[in-house]
Structure 1
Amino acid sequence: MNATRSTDIARSGRERPERFPMALIVLHWLIAVCIIAMLGIGLYMVGLPRGLPFKAVLINFHKSLGLTIFLLVLMRIGVVMVSGRPPLPPMRAWQRAAASATQVLLYAAMIVMPVTGYLGSSFNTYGTRFWGLLLPKWGWDDKGLRHFWFTIHEITAWIFIALIALHVAGALKHQLIDRDGLLRRILP
């Protein structure tokens, strides 16, 4: 252990947390940027009038980006299963529980969002194009089922936004108040 590191540990009274593997760091930030774009596009496009050609372009881009994020999330889950995650720094039990619950709910939202979007699109006449490739539909033109899946999609989006805000607030708390080095684990 070098002198600077041992001085830092002595000052903080605890070991610095390990870093995430580079593959997880890259996937984390790539997914984060894509999700912010996805949510912004989704919120913008629902307010556009029907029949606007630009809205159709945005909807298809939204679908393609959403399915791409879904594939990246599956890849991230696979990398986590293979490489694991660094342990959390020492913290109160309620903070550890809140961090774990938020993480599980974020992953759930990242899976529920594209699945419900795809299912909602399966119950209309247009289907889903993935970067131009028409994917198989799992349904038929059914306004009730389309509304059901898109309602879950929309509710999940608002929950997802709240979870992202909570995740960012927690990271900032650890960085600015606790100064426990937690954020450094995931920075490039």
Structure 2
Amino acid sequence: MKTSVFAFGTRRAQRAHAVVLLALAASIVGSGVAAAIVGGFRINLTPSEPLGLWRIVALDRPAAAGDLVFICPPQTPVMQEARERGYLRSGACTGGVAPLIKTVIAIAGQHVEIGASVTIDGRAIASSDLAERDGKGRPMTPFAGGIVPGESVFLHSPFRSSYDSRYFGPLPTSGILGLAQPVLTYVP
């Protein structure tokens, strides 16, 4: 008479082992994600900057033009509309959105003009032409332009479809989490 014995015992025992292993794997992944977030690491899944793993590095001075920063957008009507349209991803910033990765192109006191493209203090910004419509055909409203207010920055990404200050205007420097440092990234 043949008897069948499973490597891990009965089917019930096999299922119990599988549940325990699955729970352990989920715990390890969850702990890794939590440690990465606490350690200042973020994953960028938007084409505004290279995709992949980034690190937030403390900024121990005022933000300057040319700085690539992580910044939490404020909860304003413009940002709420951006969230509803799907321009902002879910994340840990106030309002449940992910921090943006953008380059500071103007600081407080500088003059921003918005036309077919952006100029800062009369200097044209490369790759700054505006889109009239988003990817779903909805109209895009550009920022009116003007002087960047105190304790604010004007942000840009060279990616044409980027949602940046061309549309939402300057953001308060209080939302800056730090400099954005690529760790393991690629451009698709």
User: TM-score scaled to structure 2, two decimals?
Assistant: 0.25
Bigger strand share: 2
Bigger helix share: 1
Larger Cα-atom Rg: 2
User: TM-score scaled to structure 1, two decimals?
Assistant: 0.25
